[in-house]
Structure 1
Amino acid sequence: MSGRIPAIACIGVIGRHNNPLHISLFPPEERAPLEFQFLLSSCLDIFEARLPHKTADQDFGLLQAVDERLAMYGWLTNTGVKFVIVVDMEGRPSNPLDNKGSTAIGLRDSDLKPAFRALQTAYIMLLRNPFYNPDEHSPVTANAEQRFGSTQITSRNFIKEVKRIGDAWAPGVVNI
């Protein structure tokens, strides 16, 4: 594991009714989509269990460590939408030009706050789009899939921004 730094493996946006709105994998060709769908679903109970004890802070921190390699972190918006970031602790090779050494780096809860803030900003920009209706992506809406085709977010700008966030994040980055 020497010479490698943590990287984002998956970003999931989960609706207020626990329906997946968007899932991005990093890098997509090396990840199994079904595995990460199950991982994202497995953290929903943790959100529910911690919800009564949360105050104004939206950062749920470490939700669960899946194994020695993958860890899941969560963030809850005011509208009940959940952001989940799965971090691969052996994510990508470190830059040999950095003088930070080649030892494994651990994560602090604060390391992911810039990524969550950037995700929240991207989601707010999506909501500000007059052509986006969040209720179209809710499974509670009667026959949503028949009327609208999908409960997934299909905005190219949002998807591109999520990809940018996933690619740009690294431990210690303060602004994304």
Structure 2
Amino acid sequence: MASLVPGIACIGVIGKQNNPLHISLFPPGERPSLEFSFMLSSSLDIFEQRLPHKMADQDFGLLQAIDERLAMYGYLTNTGVKFVVIVDMEGRPATVNDSKNPAAVGLRDSDVKPVFRALQTAYVNLLRNPFYDPDEHMPSVAKAQNRVGSTQITSQKFIQEVNRIGELWRPGITQL
């Protein structure tokens, strides 16, 4: 039996009004999306509880260990957008590179930091798009302007970058 190493199970981007902007599951289609939506929602209470002690644009580290297999990590941007990464400690089979890497045995908060840096870069690139309006993804603004539409991020470039990050990450990687 091949040994298993941590892998990303879910990446969630949550808006400043606590509305989900994007959710990606890894591997796609093999996990129950509703279960991960509930986990992402539960992370909001932890952000709220820790917020008085943290400043914006900070890594919140381990938010909670859901069970012996899943762990949730969080990051808050200076715009109030939250990134949540759920790591499956038995997420994927070990490769030759993983067996050479001592970090593959366990997981530290610093192993997840490259994910947050890459997600923030992807989100900043999304915001730099002149056709992207972050306010249209806020439920209260859309309702006030009688706009009907998705509050989800639909940019294919952003979605592809999030998927790339989720698929490439492994413990010990320093840059994505």
TM-score (norm 2): 0.93
Per the alignment, residue 77 of structure 2 pairs with 77
Mapping of residues 1-176 of structure 1, within 5 Å = 3-55=3-55, 58-96=58-96, 99-100=99-100, 105-143=105-143, 147-176=147-176
Counterpart AA for 2:43: C
Measured after TM superposition, the shift of residue 55 of structure 1 is 3.6
Measured after TM superposition, the shift of residue 104 of structure 1 is 6.9
Alpha-carbon distance in 1 for matches of 2:132, 2:7: 30
Moved more, 47-56 or 95-104: 95-104
Alpha-carbon distance in 1 for matches of 2:56, 2:137: 26
Q: Deviations over 1:123-161 (max 9, x none)?
A: 000000000000000012142795141100000000000
Matched-pair identity in %: 71
Measured after TM superposition, the shift of residue 99 of structure 1 is 4.2
Structure 1 unmatched runs, 5+: none
Counterpart AA for 1:167: E
For residue 13 of structure 1, give the secondary structure of its aligned residue in structure 2.
Answer: strand
* RMSD value, Cα: 2.2
For residue 140 of structure 2, give the secondary structure of its aligned residue in structure 1.
Answer: coil
